[in-house]
Structure 1
Amino acid sequence: MATPSDAKPTYIYKLIPTSAAPPDPLPERLPVSDLDQTDGFIHLSTAHQVPNTLNWFFKDHAQVYILRIPYDPVDENIKWEDPKAEVCGPRGGEGMFPHLYNGFKLGKDEVESVQLWENGPGGWDSVLQAAEAWLVY
Structure 2
Amino acid sequence: MLIYKILRADEWAALQSSGETAGAPIDVSDGFVHFSTAEQVRETAAKHFAGADGLLLLAFDANALGEALKWEVSRGGALFPHLYAPLRLADVLWHKVLPFENGAHEFPDDL
TM-superposed deviation, 1:21: 3.1
Output the TM-score relative to the length of structure 1. Answer: 0.69
Q: Which 4+ residue blocks in structure 1 deviate beyond 4 angstroms? A: 23-27
Q: How many residues align?
A: 111
Counterpart-to-counterpart distance in 2, 1:23 and 1:113: 16
Counterpart-to-counterpart distance in 2, 1:26 and 1:68: 18
Provide the secondary structure at the position in 1 that maps to 2:58: strand
Q: Report what 2:23 is aligned to.
A: 32
Q: Report what 1:4 is aligned to.
A: none
Runs of 5+ consecutive residues of structure 2 not aligned to the other structure: none
Counterpart-to-counterpart distance in 1, 2:57 and 2:16: 15
Q: Report what 1:97 is aligned to.
A: 80
1:50 has 2:64 as partner: no
Q: CA RMSD in A?
A: 2.4
Instruction: Answer 1 or 2: which has greater helix percent.
Output: 2
The structure number with the bigger radius of gyration is 1
Counterpart-to-counterpart distance in 1, 2:58 and 2:33: 12
Contact conserved, 2:70 with 2:82, CA < 8 A, in 1? Answer: yes
CA gap of 1:96–1:111, structure 2 versus 1, over 3 A, is same
Q: Report what 1:120 is aligned to.
A: 101
Deviations 1:112-136 (A, max 9, x none): 1111111101412xx22xx131x2x
Percentage of pairs with the same residue = 27
Instruction: Answer 1 or 2: which has greater strand percent.
Output: 2
